[in-house]
Chain A
């Protein structure tokens, strides 16, 4: 029982810190979660983290909240989900509640503006660090289909501005086709 509480506390603490430091969109927090839960705590496998990201992206609602629900569920069931979500939403709630009282000063502060601009370089470095490892693993599968899909999806999302959800749903379609082909092949062999 003691161990369960420890786990929930670690879950809450890590979600709180990640959420408090995540400037930028949902994929920033996914990169941070991957580092934390896959590499550091080894609670999740890398493939699992990618699956969770695909699921969160196709469900409605804010991506960090969705990811917390699923990761929390994996670690400690429904109690884990609640704990993880609480950790994720508390920092923005506290920060915005305070700022909403004097947002004019905050918005026009030049030091804050400068720090936020430079922070983007650091955030980009974190995402690239994670992306290099992930892309390396896709290349290591040596499956031409996956490698082509990765590059095509990048071009679609980044250069052609196709929405993330459409990219994922298209790949879901390709996955289903892939499944149909492999099932047919298997049947061909056994008959």
Chain B
């Protein structure tokens, strides 16, 4: 019964979390903390911290975390499947229509107008992460003198390696984490 409750709670999370990761947080809180009381608010905030520190979408992370704590591996499977069923059905339908009609010239005109927006959104996400990396702050809270030199050096080196030598993105991401940790450890800052 509890498992079913979890399953339907996460179907709702998956169905109503429109607009990416952080939009899902209040929904998950509503379902898990407020309605079903499967977790305390404190456990929930731990969950958000851990979800931010690990790869993967926040709703999948929280579905797994809640499922594991409440019902072990079957809980993990049920919560995660519940969470992705709505997007799976909706996106499959959208994909079907997209590939059926995308060569129609009218559809091309409309899609063409959305592409510059996507480029802008990707750049905006990059800028936010860069500010967090360099200043540990959002753009409006940046204090120039707080700049973190190690991160700036790693960013510059990484961008150079990507553009000049086409080093793979995965190597860059993992390598920057490793290099930075070693540098900070050598500086005695950890």
User: Residues of A at under 8 Å CB distance from B?
Assistant: 17-28, 30-32, 35-36, 47-48, 50-66, 69-70, 73-74, 78, 81, 85, 89, 91-93, 95-97, 99-101, 103, 106-107, 110-132, 134-135, 138, 145-147, 149-154, 156-159, 163-165, 167-168, 170-172, 174-176, 178-179, 182-183
Contacts of B177 in A (CB 8 A): 115-116, 118-119, 122
Does B33 belong to the interface (CB within 8 Å)? no
Question: Which residue of A23, A60, A73, A118 contacts B14 across the interface (Cβ within 8 Å)?
Answer: A60
- Number of residues of chain B lying within 8 A (CB) of chain A: 100
**Total A-B pairs in contact (CB under 8 Å)?**
375
Tell me whether chain A's interface is mostly helix, strand or loop, or mixed: helix
Kindly provide the distance from the CB of A138 to the nearest chain B CB, expressed in whole angstroms.
5
Q: Which residues of A contact B20 (CB under 8 A)?
A: 25-26, 57, 62-63, 164-165
Q: In the complex the two chains form, what is the Cα distance from A101 to B180 in whole Å? A: 28
Contact with A along B151-187 (1 / 0, CB 8 A): 1101100110011000011101111111111011100
Least distance between A24 CB and chain B CB atoms (Å)? 6
Bound Cα distance A99, B114 (Å): 39
Write out the residue numbers on chain A whose beta carbons fall within 8 Å of the beta carbon of B112: 146, 175, 178
Partner of B127, one of A23, A53, A158: A158
Q: Name the B residues within 8 Å of A154 (CB-CB).
A: 120, 123-124
Least Cβ–Cβ distance between A40 and chain B, in angstroms:
8
Q: Please, how many angstroms separate the alpha-carbon atoms of A115 and B92 in the complex?
A: 37
Bound: A152/B132 CA distance, A: 23
Chain B residues, CB < 8 A from A99: 50, 54
Per-residue CB contact flags for chain B residues 1-40 toward chain A (1 = under 8 Å, else 0) read: 0000000000000111111111110000000000000000
Q: Which residues of A contact B179 (CB under 8 A)?
A: 118
Chain A residue nearest in CB terms to B175: A122
Distance in Å: Cβ of B44 to nearest Cβ of chain A: 12
Once the chains bind, are A153 and B117 in contact (CB under 8 Å)?
Answer: yes
**How far apart are A160's CB and chain B's nearest CB, in angstroms?**
10
A142 CB to nearest chain B CB (Å): 13
Q: A97-B68, A126-B162, A158-B128 given as contacts; is B118 within 8 A of A50 (CB)?
A: yes
Residue of A nearest to B55 (CB): A22
| Complexed CA–CA distance, A30 and B168 (Å) | 15
Provide the residues of chain B in CB contact with A97, threshold 8 Å.
64, 68, 73, 76
Q: Which 5 A-B pairs have the closest CB atoms?
A: A118-B180, A92-B56, A61-B87, A122-B176, A175-B113
Q: Are A24 and B129 touching (Cβ within 8 A)?
A: yes
**Could you tell me if A92 and B94 are in contact, using CB atoms closer than 8 angstroms?**
no
4 extra A-B contacts, CB within 8 A, seeds A111-B185, A121-B152 = A53-B121, A59-B91, A120-B132, A146-B115
Which residues of A lie under 8 Å from residue B18 when comparing CB positions?
A: 58-60, 165
Candidate in A26, A120, A121 with the most chain B CB atoms within 10 angstroms: A121
Given contacts A60-B16, A119-B173, contact A54 B126 (CB under 8 A): no
Assuming A96-B50, A97-B73, A118-B181, is B115 touching A63 (CB within 8 A)?
no
Q: Is there contact, CB below 8 Å, between A22 and B56?
A: yes
Taking a contact as CB atoms under 8 Å apart, the answer to whether A164 and B19 are in contact is yes
Bound-complex Cα distance A168 to B181 (A): 38
**Is there an interface contact between A81 and B88, defined as CB atoms closer than 8 Å?**
yes
By the criterion CB–CB under 8 Å, are B173 and A126 in contact? yes
Q: Which of B75-118 contact A (CB under 8 A)?
A: 76, 80, 83-84, 86-88, 90-92, 94-96, 98-99, 102, 106, 109-118
Structural contact, B56 and A168, CB atoms closer than 8 A: no
* Shortest beta-carbon distance from A114 to chain B in Å: 5
